[in-house]
């Protein structure tokens, strides 16, 4: 790469930054995990585009993959549960999201199954 190419690329990035455009913005996720009728645990994640992050809580693992070139505009979500050394996938989701919006999701893990809510309601339901 020549120095003029590097200077040109830097100029483009500086111009984008001046207008508030980021090269790879962090995407915001608000996640609620609730087991049974216990209290919901709320998490906030910021995930750079094209990368993934995980939340581990009490035997549950939630993986969030932000939109990428392979999955533009789609966030991929996976909830897994580990018990007695065995990991089981409880739910997979692909969520479309408008640019610059926050993704709000909730999971309710009950004895008879999993409830996935997108967008998450202000008041999550309870297990029956």
Quick one: how far is CA 110 from the chain centroid?
22
Tabulate helix, strand, coil % of the chain (nearest 5). 10, 50, 40
Domain coordinates in residue numbering, the chain: 25-117
Q: What is the pLDDT of residue 24?
A: 55
- Fold category of 25-117 in CATH: Immunoglobulin-like (2.60.40)
Q: What is the pLDDT of residue 3?
A: 40
Cα diameter, the chain: 65
Q: What is the pLDDT of residue 99?
A: 58
Q: What is the pLDDT of residue 68?
A: 84
The pTM of this model reads 0.74
- State how far the Cα of 123 lies from the Cα of 125, in Å rounded to an integer: 7
Q: Divide the 128 residues of the chain into consecutive groups of 10 and give the mean pLDDT of each group.
A: 40 39 71 91 92 92 90 90 92 81 91 92 84
Helix (H, G, I), strand (E, B) or coil at 67: coil
């Amino acid at each position: 790469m020549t120095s003029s190419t590097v200077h040109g690329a830097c100029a483009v990035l500086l111009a984008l930054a001046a207008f508030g455009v980021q090269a790879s913005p962090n995407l915001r996720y608000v996640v609620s995990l609730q087991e049974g009728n216990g209290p919901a645990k709320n998490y906030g994640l910021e995930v750079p585009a094209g990368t993934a992050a995980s939340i581990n809580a009490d035997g549950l693992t939630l993986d969030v993959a932000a939109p990428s070139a392979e999955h533009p505009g789609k966030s991929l979500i996976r909830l897994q549960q580990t018990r007695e050394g065995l990991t089981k996938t409880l739910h997979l989701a692909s969520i479309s999201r408008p640019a610059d919006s926050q993704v709000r999701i909730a999971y309710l893990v009950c004895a008879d199954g999993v409830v996935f809510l997108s967008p998450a309601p202000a008041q999550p339901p309870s297990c029956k």
